[in-house]
Amino acid sequence: MSQTQLKIYNGALTNLGERKLSSLTEARESRRVLDDIWGGGDLITYLLEQGLWNFATRTIQMDYDAGIDPDFGYSRGFSKPSDWVRIVGVSTDEYFNSPLLEYTDEAGYLFADDDTIYIRYVSDDSSYGGDLSLWPESFSEYAKAYMSFKASPRLTQNETKTEYFRKLSSKLLLDAKSRDAMNDPTAFAPTGSWVNSRSGSGRKPRRNSSGSWQF
């Protein structure tokens, strides 16, 4: 089911035993409480920070910023995009076959020695993680439970219920992460030393000039 802000609000209110909203402008205390929690989209960024979500991952090519002149260390600086939430991976090639391990992430910039790098990162842009219609159901349920937890002290004034929603949101976060991980591409473990020794370190046998097999 495609999610909207109103559906997320109403899911949280249903959890709390409150009446649903008819719109995001309805003059009710519960709506004002949820607006404060939503924070103009700040909540979305917080929720996205909790995982390496496939549905919110964006891949870009970044060329070094000539206006950044590091005093020492890595020679190239890269400005993070405005929709940056958290890093997923850095590579020196567009297919991410060569992960870049030598870089630093400091105060809104990345520093490395390459002129061009490729970045995967969790984005809160309206076409990525900020697009609620892209949210999987498991992530949406986590968002609703987290909003219930944050709203409970003001709407229920019941510590037992607040603690319940805290535990529920933690549980649903783990479930959402697990389901999202199922969408990761298949990864093959590197061949171990025992397998290499049995297979001649990956080399195929061949005949030498005398006709004998050489391994």
Q: Determine the pLDDT at residue 107.
A: 87
d(CA 13, CA 149): 11
Can you tell me which residue has the tokens 């870049």? Answer: 100
**Domain termination site, one of 95, 123, 151:** 123
- Residues 41, 69, single domain; the answer is no
H/E segment holding residue 180 = helix 159-181
**Domain termination site, one of 84, 99, 123:** 123
- Residues 41, 61, single domain; the answer is no
Strand runs labelled E in the chain: 57-63, 76-79, 84-91, 104-106, 109-112, 116-123, 206-207, 213-214
SS3 72: coil
* 57-63 sheet: strands from edge to edge: 57-63, 116-123, 84-91
**Domain termination site, one of 123, 140, 163:** 123
d(CA 27, CA 25): 6
Is residue 158 in a domain? yes
Q: Determine the pLDDT at residue 88.
A: 97
- Residues 16, 103, single domain; the answer is no
Cβ neighbourhood burial of 26 (10 Å; 0-12, 13-18, 19+) = middle
- Residues 177, 73, single domain; the answer is no
Residue 78: strand pairing partners: 110
Is residue 192 in a domain? no
Q: How many CA atoms lie within 13 A of 209 on its CB side?
A: 0
- Residues 44, 139, single domain; the answer is yes
Q: Cα torsion at 36, 41, 43, 49 (round to 10°)?
A: -160
d(CA 146, CA 143): 5
- Residues 100, 134, single domain; the answer is no
pTM of the predicted protein model: 0.84
Q: Determine the pLDDT at residue 1.
A: 62
Amino acid identity at 75: S
- Residues 23, 114, single domain; the answer is no
Is residue 84 in a domain? yes
Is residue 26 in a domain? yes
- Residues 39, 135, single domain; the answer is yes
Range of the domain at 116: 57-123
Q: Name every residue whose Cβ is closer than 8 Å to that of residue 187 and which is 6 or more positions away in sequence.
A: none
Please give the chain's pLDDT, 215 residues, in tens.
679 999 999 999 999 999 999 999 999 999 999 999 999 999 999 999 999 999 999 999 999 999 999 999 999 999 999 999 999 999 999 999 999 999 999 989 999 999 999 999 999 999 999 999 999 999 999 999 999 999 999 999 999 999 999 999 999 999 999 999 998 876 544 444 444 444 444 444 444 544 444 44
Q: Determine the pLDDT at residue 185.
A: 73
Helices H / strands E in the chain, number of each: 6, 8
Residues 189-213 have pLDDT tens digits of 444 444 444 444 444 444 454 444 4
Is residue 205 in a domain? no
- Residues 91, 119, single domain; the answer is yes
d(CA 94, CA 90): 10
Residue 118: strand pairing partners: 61, 91
Q: Determine the pLDDT at residue 187.
A: 53
* 104-106 sheet: strands from edge to edge: 76-79, 109-112, 104-106
- Residues 23, 66, single domain; the answer is no
How many domains does the chain divide into? 2
